[in-house]
Amino acid sequence: MRPRWGRAVLAFILFSGAARGLLAASPAVSGPPPGIVITASPDPQKIFVGSPTIAILPDGTYVVAHDYGGPGAGARKGNTLVLVSRDRGATWRQLAELTDQKWSTLFVHRGALYLIGTTAKVGHMIVRRSRDGGKTWTNPSDGKNGLLAEGKFHCGPTPVVVHGGRVWRAFEEFSPSAPTRAFRAFVMSAAEDADLLDAASWRRTNQVAFDKTWLATRNAEWLEGNVVVAPDGGVVDILRVESHQAPGTVFDLPGAAAGIPRFEVAAMMAISADGSTARFDPARGFIHFIGSESKFTIRYDSESKRYWSVGNKITQPRSGDDWTHSPHHQRNVIALTSSSDLREWQEHYRLLRYAEGSVVVKEGSRVGFQYLDWQFDGDDLIAVCRMAWNGLNYHDANVITFHRVRNFRSLKLSDSPPSLVQ
């Protein structure tokens, strides 16, 4: 399907720099955003929407959840809305609003709907259950009712996978001793027939920290891991990696990652079958992955026998220490990719494209497509997007949108919709 793109205004905002010349931010836009709007911020400059996640109930109903944030969110900051569509995404209505729920994933397990995430941006690990399709939810009040662990945890709306008799989900724990934001990655799992609200049902691997010397990166940061069942049947955690180069280092990736484009490198961590151990081998653990600089979702398709992902394509890779204009910030192109082995990924189609040839700047760009979560729906792929559309900046989104990609398995790059702005 080709979404309704709206009109784009070719009004480039120029940013000057004495040492770096003139750099252009993304153009401003007018008209409605692409896709179907599920939620729009009541104050795009102060109230932000994020962390969209989507699930399909056994009766075909679509359920979406997303959270609120920003300096104007007030008492709703950190709350999550749950919305439903019974007409395949054409219209949406709110079912519930949950307090202290962040970065969460919806999933269906044994007839019930679950929502797993944290209580805050960095908060306790929690899980809730709904037995009526998302109208009412359990309260994670203690270890018997969904409070899985207290601490400073982080995650994203990434997949929950059932495999080998266990339910799997990736998390990270914030490292308070690190000089910059840093996360130690691990995976939680529970027996698939266990009470998922009982903290005692869950097993946690050891935590693994990222070493920025592995890739000569500015920050020691990996996060928002995807649990995936590898071709050999083992469980792996594939993590987003921030790969902006450290000052004074060469642009090309070093060591075992040599030959992989700097802004297309992700990390693959091996998880033991019993869920007790996580191990990362820097000599073999880096993979070529399109979309690795922002949150992504990977799912396996048994029909094509391929892994599929939707994420941000970096179209303007370049060298330099300048963080304000780092390619790390580029979130104006969304690509559909696939792989047969999880190590090499092929780009098939661009779902969303906006000014993909312009230089993205940290504060001046006001359009961004990011954090898509998605599901297979027969021959189609359905997705929800955290979108900045004339927002405060590219990062702080003001709408959650729904998108359908028809016959996704047969799409080619030449089928992609035109860019909103060239």
Residues 284-339 pLDDT 10s: 999 999 999 999 999 999 999 999 999 999 998 988 878 888 899 999 999 999 99
Whole-structure pTM value: 0.92
Looking up tokens 């021959």 gives: 379
Q: How far is CA 110 from the centre of its chain?
A: 25
SS3 state at 87: coil
pLDDT on residue 373: 98
Q: What phi and psi values does residue 279 have, to the nearest 5 degrees? A: -140, 130
Which segments of 242-328 are extended strands (E)?
265-271, 278-279, 286-288, 297-301, 306-312
Residue 25 is predicted with a pLDDT of: 56
Distance CA(342)–CA(234), nearest Å, equals 12
Share of the chain above pLDDT 70, in %: 92
Task: Pick the closest to residue 1 from 363, 403, 422 (CA basis).
Answer: 403
Helix or strand or coil: residue 207?
Answer: coil
Whether the CA torsion 193, 199, 205, 211 is positive or negative: it is positive
Instruction: Tell me the Cα Rg of the chain.
Output: 20
Interatomic CA distance for residues 131 and 118, integer angstroms: 21
- Facing residues of 54 across strands? 64
Q: Which of 296, 305, 405 is nearest to 348 (CA)?
A: 405
CB 63 within 8 A of CB 55: yes
Task: Report pLDDT for 27.
Answer: 65
Which has the closest alpha carbon to 280: 311, 241, 251, 244? 241
The whole-angstrom separation of Cα 80 and Cα 53 is 11
Residue 346 CA: distances (Å) to CA of 56, 126, 127, 244 = 27, 35, 34, 23
Asked if 61 contacts 84 with a C-beta cutoff of 8 angstroms, the reply is yes
The Cα 369–Cα 255 span in angstroms is 32
Write the burial class of residue 203 (CB in 10 Å: 0-12 exposed, 13-18 middle, 19+ buried): middle
Rounded alpha-carbon distances, angstroms, from residue 267 to 168, 214, 241, 261, 283: 18, 11, 7, 13, 11
**Residue 242 backbone dihedrals phi, psi, to 5 degrees:** -80, 115
Rounded to 5 degrees, what are φ and ψ at 172? -135, 150
Sequence-separated contacts (24+) of 137-143 with Cβ below 8 Å: 137/82, 137/96, 137/98, 138/197, 140/197, 143/198, 143/199, 143/200
Please determine, for residue 10, whether its predicted confidence score (pLDDT) is greater than 80. no
The residue-averaged pLDDT of 357-385 equals: 92
Q: Give the burial string for 357-393 (b: 16+ CB within 10 Å, else e).
A: ebbbbbebbbbbbbbbbbbbbeebbbbbbbbbbebbb
CB atoms within 10 A of CB 72: 16
pLDDT at 13 over 50: no
Q: 238-274: buried (b, 16+ CB within 10 Å) or exposed (e) per residue?
A: bbbbbbbbeeebeeebeeebeebbbbbbbbbbbbeee
DSSP state of 77: T
Tens digit of each residue's pLDDT (9 = 90 or more) over 205-249: 999 999 989 999 998 899 999 999 999 999 999 999 999 999 999
Q: Which pLDDT band holds residue 182 (cuts at 50, 70, 90)?
A: confident
* Residues 33, 400: Cα–Cα separation, whole Å: 10
Q: Which structure tokens are listed for 5?
A: 């793109």
Report the pLDDT value the prediction gives residue 9, as an integer from 0 to 100: 29
Q: Is the pLDDT of residue 22 over 90?
A: no
Which amino acid appears at position 276 of this protein?
S
- pLDDT for res 3: 39
Tokens of 285: 């653990």
